[in-house]
């Protein structure tokens, strides 16, 4: 098996630079011990955690000046962890989680690359109920609703980890599942509003998705 190829890049947020070690592209694959296969992660989906997607950039930019004062924050499905790294730079109380077995390793290396403080990370799935994450005041994520089944899984995972008073920010690129997701979130007491990002000049193409914000 050939060695995993990576690339280094810097993403700018005004005067803030976030340095990233990512996979070279979404064709990379390396699962020597079959750990990802045991978790049900196919070779086709294996690289998806390790590249920067437009929805992730939108979420990170949205969090640039978001009010984080006194909030314990969870990034769900953090992938390469761009938003967590930005919030860490802002000295936020940020915890990250992802299902992929390599996400935590890449996050740690990227924290070191940015000379940041340790970001707590837990590998867990949305169906797991025995994690040690606890409760949060703000829960965020991007491009999470891949499949119809994710509507119930994600909403219930968020409910499990949301404080009675909680904000949730989801950036959805338009996969068609956000409407039933919002209905499910309403059963847990969340109101919501949605809008397109106002400025996306940092993207190479128009963003057709939405920023959806839930409040309880």
pLDDT value of position 40: 74
Asked whether 99 and 125 are in contact (CB, 8 A), the reply is: yes
What is the pTM assigned to this prediction?
A: 0.94
Dig out the tokens for 48 from the structure: 């998806």
Over residues 108-132, the mean pLDDT reads 95
Residue-wise pLDDT tens digits, 62-74: 999 999 999 999 9
Quickly state the pLDDT bin for 2 (edges 50, 70, 90): low
Asked whether 200 and 207 are in contact (CB, 8 A), the reply is: yes
Among 14, 22, 135, which residue's Cα sits nearest to residue 86? 14
Dig out the tokens for 203 from the structure: 């993207």
Over residues 98-126, the mean pLDDT reads 96
Percent of the chain with pLDDT over 90: 81
Quickly state the pLDDT bin for 1 (edges 50, 70, 90): very low
Residue-wise pLDDT tens digits, 96-109: 999 999 999 999 99
Percentages (nearest 5) of helix, strand, coil residues in the chain: 25, 25, 45
Least confident of 41-45, 60-64, 144-148, 175-179: 41-45
């Amino acid at each position: 098996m050939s060695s995993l190829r990576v690339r280094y890049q810097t993403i700018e947020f005004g005067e803030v630079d976030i340095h990233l070690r990512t996979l070279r592209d979404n064709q990379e694959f390396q699962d020597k011990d079959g750990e990802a296969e045991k978790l049900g992660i196919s070779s086709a989906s294996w690289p998806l955690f390790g590249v920067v997607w437009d929805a992730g950039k939108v979420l990170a930019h949205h969090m640039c000046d978001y009010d984080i004062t006194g909030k314990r924050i969870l990034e769900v499905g953090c992938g390469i962890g761009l938003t967590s790294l930005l919030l860490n730079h802002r000295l936020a109380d940020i915890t990250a989680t992802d299902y992929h077995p390599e996400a935590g390793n890449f996050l740690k290396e990227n924290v070191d690359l940015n000379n940041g403080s340790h970001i707590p990370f837990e590998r867990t799935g949305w169906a797991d109920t025995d994690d040690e994450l606890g409760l949060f005041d703000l829960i965020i994520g991007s491009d999470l609703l891949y499949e119809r089944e994710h509507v119930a899984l994600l909403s219930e995972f968020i409910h499990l980890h949301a404080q009675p008073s909680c904000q949730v920010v989801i950036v959805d690129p338009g996969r068609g599942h956000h409407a039933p997701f919002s209905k499910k979130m309403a059963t847990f007491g969340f109101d919501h509003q949605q809008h397109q990002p106002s400025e996306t000049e940092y993207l190479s193409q128009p963003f057709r998705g939405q920023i959806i914000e839930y409040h309880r």
